């Protein structure tokens, strides 16, 4: 398990899937804002591709986020779009409704940065988020991510067009910020 101040990132367990599916992916508004495509229902008994773990897939590493104190499932985190040639990847996360606004997102981003830069040896991490996602913007910027641009009118979400913000963090900037 990778450990932060308050959370741990661990492998996805089978009993995590129904909770994450119900609280995150069956929520039409949340899922529409978090995914790059329209929400669609996934039938009972069907393996949800958003939560399935394929240990052979090398371009994405899904984690379950748990509280260090007690091990309660908090949400999901992913390092995705891993490009080993250019040594870049993207960060994504989703917190269960009862765990939002408690600082977990900032800790998740910090642990994903450690995983990406130290464990995987990447040189750049990137986040794309809706321009009105203040919590994600705050979590990213608290971890040293810099706003690099706005993708105007790039997301269709529940009948409206929204801007996305592109944030980036370089390994050398992350390392410099960690030095005392």
Which helix (H) or strand (E) is 141 found in, with range?
A: helix 134-142
| Range of weakest confidence among 37-46, 93-102, 121-130 | 37-46
Domains delineated in the chain: 2-178 (3.40.630.30)
- pLDDT on residue 174: 96
Instruction: Answer for the pair 64, 16: CB distance below 8 angstroms, yes or no.
Output: yes
**Residue 32 backbone phi and psi in degrees, to 5:** -65, -35
User: CA 29, CA 66: separation in Å to the nearest integer?
Assistant: 23
- Ramachandran area for residue 121 (φ above 0: left; ψ -120 to 50: alpha; else beta): left
Q: What is the per-residue pLDDT across 113-147, written as a single tens digit (0 to 9) for each?
A: 999 999 999 999 999 999 999 999 999 999 999 99
């Amino acid at each position: 398990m990778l450990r932060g101040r308050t959370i741990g990132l661990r492998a996805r367990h089978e009993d995590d899937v129904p909770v994450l599916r119900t609280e995150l992916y069956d929520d039409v508004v949340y899922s529409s804002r978090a995914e790059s495509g329209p929400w669609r229902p996934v039938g009972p008994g069907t393996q949800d591709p958003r939560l399935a773990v394929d240990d052979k897939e090398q371009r994405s590493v899904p984690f379950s986020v748990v509280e260090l104190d007690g091990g309660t499932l908090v949400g999901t985190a992913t390092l995705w779009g891993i490009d080993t040639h250019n040594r870049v990847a993207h960060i994504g996360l989703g917190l269960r409704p009862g765990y939002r606004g408690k600082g977990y997102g900032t800790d998740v981003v910090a642990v994903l940065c450690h995983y990406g830069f130290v464990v995987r040896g990447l040189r750049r991490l990137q986040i794309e988020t809706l321009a009105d996602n203040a919590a994600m913007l705050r979590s990213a910027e608290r971890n040293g991510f810099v706003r690099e641009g706005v993708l105007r009118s790039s997301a269709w979400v529940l009948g409206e067009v929204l801007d996305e913000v592109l944030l980036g963090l370089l390994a050398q900037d992350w390392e410099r910020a960690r030095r005392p």
